[in-house]
A and B are shown apart, each in its own frame.
Chain A
Amino acid sequence: GDSVTQMEGPVTLSEEAFLTINCTYTATGYPSLFWYVQYPGEGLQLLLKATKADDKGSNKGFEATYRKETTSFHLEKGSVQVSDSAVYFCALSDHTGANSKLTFGKGITLSVRP
């Protein structure tokens, strides 16, 4: 079945540091890939997505590139801010039939120090 593997956390960085959060996936077919973010006290929000190989999703300074050859969708940001402190989830949707259910990784907590 489908699965998503994220690097273990938590991650603590200083403001303006470079961020990479690794994500790899296993899926049949050609899934869409997502990063969701959950800020403290808030619900899950879509951060960015990519729907086909070599697509790059980007939002709020975050980027991730859909790499079919390595089945990866690593999240990067060049300079993190305190406001980026949140839990980040990598997810996929394999579009089996009409159900675009999401399969999530376990999530990783990012804390950014001033």
Chain B
Amino acid sequence: GAGVSQSPSNKVTEKGKDVELRCDPISGHTALYWYRQSLGQGLEFLIYFQGNSAPDKSGLPSDRFSAERTGGSVSTLTIQRTQQEDSAVYLCASSFLSTGSNNEQFFGPGTRLTVL
């Protein structure tokens, strides 16, 4: 079956512009995660969605970052007023459950964001 997909694969934007990154999780997966992979910081957790529960936003680096998940499926990560330090690869992952034996996270190919 189809894996996790993300779009766009690459995004170049100017400092100060807003960007939206999209994630389509594997069908039927209830848990969805966003991570950021950058040269200086490695791979960092950003936000977690589980079903209809309130998201865990504890990893978001600033209030310029927000995310939503509509209908328990597709998720959008929005970065407002982008800064150069936001340049990174943004990874989305989904899992069938968040705990127990079915909690393996499957990763998408990522969106490479470059802020000029």
What does DSSP make chain B's interface, helix, strand, loop or mixed? strand
Per-residue interface assignment for chain A, residues 72 to 114, with 1 indicating a CB less than 8 Å from any chain B CB and 0 otherwise = 0000000000000000010101010111111111110000000
B51 CB to closest chain A CB, in angstroms?
A: 9
| Interface residues in A, total, Cβ within 8 A | 22
Complex interface: stretch among B18-26, B40-48, B68-76, B80-88 = B40-48
Chain B contributes a number of interface residues (CB within 8 A of A) equal to 27
Q: Which residue of B lies closest to A105 (CB)?
A: B42
Residue of A nearest to B31 (CB): A100
Give, as a whole number of angstroms, the nearest-CB distance from A5 to chain B: 11
Q: Is the CB of A102 within 8 A of B45?
A: yes
Asked if residues A102 and B48 are in contact (CB atoms below 8 Å), the reply is no
Is B56 at the interface (CB under 8 A from chain A)? Answer: yes
Judged by DSSP, the binding face of A is loop
Known contacts A44-B91, A95-B99; is-contact A101 B33 (Cβ 8 Å) = yes
Interface centre among A46, A101, A102 (most CB of B within 10 A): A101
- Residues from chain A with a CB closer than 8 A to the CB of B105 are 46, 100, 102
User: 8 tightest A-B contacts by CB?
Assistant: A104-B43, A44-B107, A106-B42, A101-B45, A43-B109, A43-B107, A99-B48, A99-B56
Could you list 22 examples of A-B contacts with CB < 8 Å? Answer: A43-B4, A43-B91, A43-B107, A43-B109, A44-B91, A46-B104, A46-B106, A49-B104, A89-B43, A98-B98, A99-B98, A101-B45, A101-B59, A102-B33, A102-B35, A102-B45, A102-B105, A104-B35, A104-B42, A104-B43, A107-B42, A107-B43
